Amino acid sequence: MNRVGAIAAAQLRLFGRSRLAVVALVLLAMLSGIAAITGATQASRMAADRATAQAAANTDFANQPDRHPHRMVHYGTYALRPLGPLAAFDPGVDAFAGSLIYLEGHRQNATTLGAARESSGLIRFGQLTPAFVLRVLVPLLLVFVGFAMIVAERQTGLFTLQLTHGANASELIGGKALALASVAGVAALPALLALAWAAAQSPAEAGVAALMAVAALLWLGLWVLGITLVSARARSAQSALMALVLAWAVLVVLVPRAAAGVAALAHPLPTKAETDLIIHQELRALGDSHNPDDPHFAAFKAGLLKRYGVARVEDLPFNYRGALSAEGERLTSQLFARHAADTAATQMQQHRLLALGGVISPAIGFAQASMAGAATDLASHIAFLDAAEAHRYRLIQSLNGLHTYQVRGADDAARNKDPIAERQSRISARFWADQKPFHHAGPTMADRIAGMLPGLAAMLLWAVLLLWQLIRSGRQEQP
């Protein structure tokens, strides 16, 4: 083992003498530094902006004057997707997923906002974040630093000379790999420090952050193994470099995009406009509130009259209009929930197809694991959408409950014509302050860790394959 260390130390001295390697490492360190600092400041500013906007929406709602509760159904409120502290390391899908939803009665609105819609077209070239540095930049740096480390010595005859002098090929290869791994460690340091700093903002995140660091080191470890393997087997330094740059371009740049294209084609998503129109169609079949003779609402009314033993809705012990609103909301929300579940299911199918692509390119596995850990992945976004819809339904039905039990039916019926009835149909502002504000803590720690597992498994599979090939390479070397 000592000899491996000595070989690694010698190789590191060689790396240190290569101007190209040193310049590249310094440039990378600068980029990592920029990514870490901007990532941290942007994420904390965005998180603060969203918290402020959420608080403002909550305050606005609580401070509304005495009103008819149905006015509040239409006034609605907003839900903002919270941003966890680890988003500073990997903002994931955040820029491409809307962060704001307007919650109101009768409707399930689309998300709005999102950095992708408020930036220049450059955002499509990738975002400079610590996770991007680790996923895209560091592997290419390692390629440039390490492609020649074995093959160059072989071309000059030095490798064979060392073997004839009693060196063991496995130890030589191991030492070179160790040296490259140290470079990887140094190159990854700024990004990992950014991760540690982000985790330090919230100690509860430390465990998952550690697992994300493991994922990053595993990812870079794959490159160390792959580069050592190619450098050990290539015929010339040039062909080693070509093969490695090609592998990088295919695995990091091409396959993730191609896999996304395949996923979109294999599991097409309907447009929001079409889904809304289909919901309207289905709603008319279920119960048309505009049709006075609609069978569903007629049965609903007859059921209430029978249960309370009265002949007219005016004789019910509560405001029939409120009950009718609640029933209408129940019907529409059922459809919203079903179609939202369909959309989410299709998106998760696309996600799983991508995860399968992680077997071809571990870059996908690393990206998915990192996002899942940072709570900035697709599943986290869907969890937010579900939480927002659940809150919307609870809030609207609570307001419909106030409409049913706090507003007298007679006032309600006359409010559009009689100013006194109108005034009496308004209920106290304190009811608004009593409504629970939207709160979404994000996915649970267990869900986040579970979301990391497929990506980690894909990377482990690759690690085993590369290690096996590298050991074979070491055994096959003859002095």
Positions in 18-37 near another protein (CB under 8 A): 20, 24, 31, 34
Rounded CA gap, 417 and 343, in Å? Answer: 44
Give DSSP secondary structure letters for 42-85. HHHHHHHHHHHHHHHHHHHHHT--SB-HHHHHHH-EEEE----G
Nearest to another protein of 31, 387 (CB atom): 31
Site for another protein in 294-333 (CB under 8 A): none
Site for another protein in 188-217 (CB under 8 A): none
Q: Applying CB under 8 A, does 271 fall inside the site for another protein?
A: yes
Q: Applying CB under 8 A, does 246 fall inside the site for another protein?
A: yes
Name the minimum Å distance from CB 278 to another protein.
Answer: 7
CA atoms within 13 A on the CB side of 43: 29
Among 121, 157, 203, 309, binds another protein (CB under 8 A): 121
Q: What are phi and psi of 346, to 5 degrees?
A: -65, -45
Site for another protein in 360-419 (CB under 8 A): 371, 377-378, 381, 416-417, 419
Rounded CA gap, 406 and 427, in Å? Answer: 7
Q: Applying CB under 8 A, does 266 fall inside the site for another protein?
A: no
Q: Which of 422, 398, 235 lies closest to 322, judged by CA?
A: 398
Q: Applying CB under 8 A, does 286 fall inside the site for another protein?
A: no
Nearest to another protein of 163, 258 (CB atom): 258
- Per-residue interface string for the shown chain with another protein, residues 215-244, x marking contact by CB under 8 A: ---------------------xxx--xx--
Among 51, 189, 278, 464, binds another protein (CB under 8 A): 278
Give DSSP secondary structure letters for 299-317. HHHHHHHHHHT-SSGGGSS
Nearest to another protein of 119, 428 (CB atom): 119
Pick the piece of the chain touching another protein (CB under 8 A) from 126-134, 203-211, 330-338, 469-477: 126-134
Name the minimum Å distance from CB 256 to another protein.
Answer: 5
CA atoms within 13 A on the CB side of 410: 3
Name the minimum Å distance from CB 263 to another protein.
Answer: 6
Return the structure tokens found at 224. 């160390």
Among 124, 307, 312, 430, binds another protein (CB under 8 A): 124
Rounded CA gap, 280 and 267, in Å? Answer: 24
Q: Residues with Cβ < 8 Å from 386, sequence gap 6 or more?
A: 340, 344
Rounded CA gap, 173 and 149, in Å? Answer: 10
Instruction: For helices 445-476 and 378-406, give the axis angle rounded to 10 degrees.
Output: 170
Name the minimum Å distance from CB 343 to another protein.
Answer: 5
Among 182, 334, 343, 424, binds another protein (CB under 8 A): 343
Among 165, 257, 307, 312, binds another protein (CB under 8 A): 257
Rounded CA gap, 108 and 9, in Å? Answer: 62
Which residue bears the tokens 């680890």?
86
- Give 112's strand partners: 100
Q: Applying CB under 8 A, does 158 fall inside the site for another protein?
A: no
* Cβ neighbours, 10 Å, residue 65: 9
Nearest to another protein of 4, 35 (CB atom): 35
Nearest to another protein of 418, 463 (CB atom): 418
Among 113, 217, 465, 467, binds another protein (CB under 8 A): 113
Is residue 458 within 8 Å of residue 157, measured between CB atoms? Answer: no
Site for another protein in 52-71 (CB under 8 A): 53, 56-57, 60, 65, 67, 71
Which residue bears the tokens 């077997």?
359
Pick the piece of the chain touching another protein (CB under 8 A) from 110-118, 163-171, 211-219, 440-448: 110-118
Among 258, 356, 390, 410, binds another protein (CB under 8 A): 258
Residue type for 333, please? S
Site for another protein in 416-475 (CB under 8 A): 416-417, 419
* Cβ neighbours, 10 Å, residue 293: 7
Site for another protein in 162-191 (CB under 8 A): none
* Cβ neighbours, 10 Å, residue 382: 20
Q: Applying CB under 8 A, does 134 fall inside the site for another protein?
A: no
Q: Which of 221, 254, 233 lies closest to 147, judged by CA?
A: 233
Nearest to another protein of 75, 405 (CB atom): 75
